[in-house]
Structure 1
């Protein structure tokens, strides 16, 4: 489906685009938080590439709700050739490059504190698994998207982080280390890409109620976190997705290199 002439013109060398003129790629969008992120952009009129690795059924179900503006594409973000092919498929289908990138894909992981490897059991393989999926995956998608963003003079990159940097209530050592690397990449990329009118930001949530990754979390943990937040409730995936809309919107055109914590006020700054 090609972009209309009006949309194509609007996408050319502008400091900010309305969400309805953006072509958004959400990685890991076939399930969990990724589905909520993709749906939030679709509800705002954006065109969305629904990336998935194994969750084909979920990705295609989402596309079925928005057949004119959504496209499901399978690709492992750790595979640069597959990511390049996904970008090419998006351009072919929508008639223009990806303008907005949401790096949400997460290697296989369950937020179950009782099952996490402790300091004595940790291996480098745990860290490598997370670093590959989080940091390498984001590097692949960013590099694959840059030419298209520079072509239209506009880009928005939003990386999904965690508030466990500031509040390691459950020390998921490997997961948190990978997200810390992603925060560093966020800030250094923001410095380098600012002159191209490409902003790079991170959203760091806490425990979300509920995603596929948090289904293993005991109810007592949800209750403890809810009681500890000023809002007295656990943040939802839909509320988290609101922050992604903000960073992609014209209202955030001067915001880059930031890490916004979205957890109901549990963690400050």
Structure 2
């Protein structure tokens, strides 16, 4: 299915990588569902920029009933079901190397917060979308990971562990859902310059990344968004269960 025929849900879509992902899919002609949790004004502004090919819908991805309601509302708005899910939502986290908890301070509740945002949130959207995807014999699920669990430039223990778990989910879902024409992949950027979540990252950290990266630059959100579109396009129709690292070559997968 061409991207222009797809209905794409982007979770956590009102800012940062989510916003750039919405813009990339809209550029390719897709219908886009802008999901947000608390950033209503930003979501509404983004919807206004795109026009009738977008709808902004509030939902906490950790709440299965809210997610089901989101899928129902999107179906009603566009007259057809969601075909493509981008699990991008980030719950209560900032990339702040000065304020992060170290190994002696991190608690299970910190891990649980990130696991619920990444893994539980993705499970809820995948399960909500599966019935229609199976009926259509088509579905594209793209989970957003990070290169930090392969190269922890800064050891964000809770965040990187949750994304490593999400990769495990990605590969298991790919194995089971492939028979229905549904692909499940992951796109992993690094610390992006710059998003709301990475705004607290020091210039020293960004300079370290630049010096260590073959392209000698920090990856932009729009560059990761284009890779996400690849996994929704016909060009990736034979690709599933993969983790594509988009970081200028810093991590070689």
Question: How many residues are matched?
Answer: 253
Structure-2 separation of matches of 1:145 and 1:21: 16
Which residue, out of 55, 79, 85, partners 1:95? Answer: 79
Q: Does 1:51 align with 2:35?
A: yes
Runs (4+) of structure 1 exceeding 2 A deviation are: none
- Alignment-derived partner of residue 260 in structure 1: 244
User: 1:168, CA displacement in angstroms?
Assistant: 1.0
In 2, the alpha carbon distance for the partners of 1:65 and 1:171 equals 37
- Corresponding residue for 2:227? 243
Partner of 1:215: 199
Q: Quote the residue 2:165 is aligned against.
A: 181
Q: What is the aligned counterpart of 1:61 among 20, 45, 68?
A: 45
Residue 30 of structure 1, CA deviation:
1.1
> 1:84 matched to which residue of 2?
68
83-92 vs 30-39, which moves further: 30-39
- How far apart are the structure 2 equivalents of 1:98 and 1:153? 13
Residues 1:22 and 2:6 aligned together: yes
2:102 to 102, 107, 118: 118
Length-normalised TM-score, structure 1 = 0.93
Pairing 1:144-223 to 2, within 5 Å after superposition: 144-223=128-207
| TM-score normalised to structure 2 length | 0.99
Secondary structure of the residue that 2:174 maps to in structure 1?
A: helix
Structure 2: give runs of 5+ residues left out of the alignment: none
> In the TM superposition, what is the alpha-carbon distance from 1:105 to its structure 2 partner?
0.2
> How far off is 1:113 after superposition?
1.2
Once residues 237 and 227 of structure 1 are traced to their aligned partners in structure 2, the CA distance between those partners, rounded to angstroms, is 19
Q: Which residue, 34, 37, 40 being the options, matches 2:21?
A: 37
Q: Quick one: distance in 2 between partners of 1:202 and 1:35?
A: 18
**1-structure distance, mates of 2:50, 2:159:** 33
The DSSP-based 3-state class of the residue aligned with 1:113 is coil
SS at structure 2 position matched to 1:189:
helix
Deviations 1:16-57 (A, max 9, x none): x11100000000001111111111100110000000000111
Quote how far apart the aligned CAs of 1:80 are: 0.3
CA offset at residue 243 of structure 1? 0.6
1:143 corresponds to which of 119, 127, 133:
127
SS at match of 2:98: helix
